[in-house]
Amino acid sequence: MSSGLRAVLWDMDGVLVLSGDVHYDAWTRVLAEYGLSMTREQFEETFGMNNHNILRRLYDRRLSPAQAHEVATRKEQVYRELARGRVQPLPGVREWLARLPKAGWRQAVASSGPMANIAVILNELDEWDAFDAVLTGARLERSKPDPALFLQAAAAVGTPPARCVVVEDSTAGVEAARRAGMRCIAVTTTRAAEDLRSADLVVDRLDRLPHDAFDRLVPAEGV
């Protein structure tokens, strides 16, 4: 890894796109098929975790491992069907994705969603070329707030954790960034600013970030 490099690690849901309602719709439809339900509060509390950990936390005694795998797989199939044509980039996303590489930043997607979901979103946005690496935490034993996914993303773009800025919207994601030793910008698309207060910077929209927001968190080498 080169200490002079800098990287931005992007969460996807709630950061690149506002997809919470699509995920919740998918969960409620699929869980109903198994005689289960999920409240909006439960959804918001677990948003940012991977399916394995969500199902283990909410329905551990009601689903066998095989059933949990089946539910998780089915939920993501339904999500992808619902997401096509329904998701749009959040304000400021395209501008930052284009601006940061010109300033020497590397970029990666680091999402808890399955790779097939990430592919659907990046296809919808037509933004594959903006990223040097695309990673999923769906198969990790521990999801956010565990820092493993962000540490893997930093390694994938060859950047020390201390030179990375994470962009997140969930409390689990912000905590994962902190545990990884990274700076963090939180967007209040799915959680209140008070819930995200441990981030270095909290904003309601990325297009309202100061033009030097990322540079302030991780200055260029020699600055």
Which residues have a Cβ under 8 Å from the Cβ of 56 and sit 6 or more positions away? Answer: 68
Asked whether the CA dihedral 157, 162, 166, 172 is positive or negative, the reply is positive
For the chain, give the percent of residues with pLDDT over 70: 98
pLDDT bin (cut points 50, 70, 90) of residue 56 is: very high
Cβ contact 51:65 at 8 Å: no
Query: What's the rounded mean pLDDT across residues 13-24?
Result: 91
Domains identified in the chain and CATH numbers: 6-18+88-217 (3.40.50.1000), 20-83 (1.10.150)
Helices and strands: H and E segment counts in the chain: 9, 6
**pLDDT, averaged across the chain:** 94
Find, among 18, 7, 5, the residue nearest to 166 by Cα: 7
Distant-in-sequence, close-in-space partners of 58: CB < 8 Å, separation ≥ 6:
38, 42, 46
pLDDT of residue 223: 54
Mean pLDDT of 15-35: 94
Q: Residue 202 — very low, low, confident or very high, per pLDDT cuts 50/70/90?
A: very high
Is 70 exceeded by the pLDDT of residue 6?
Answer: yes
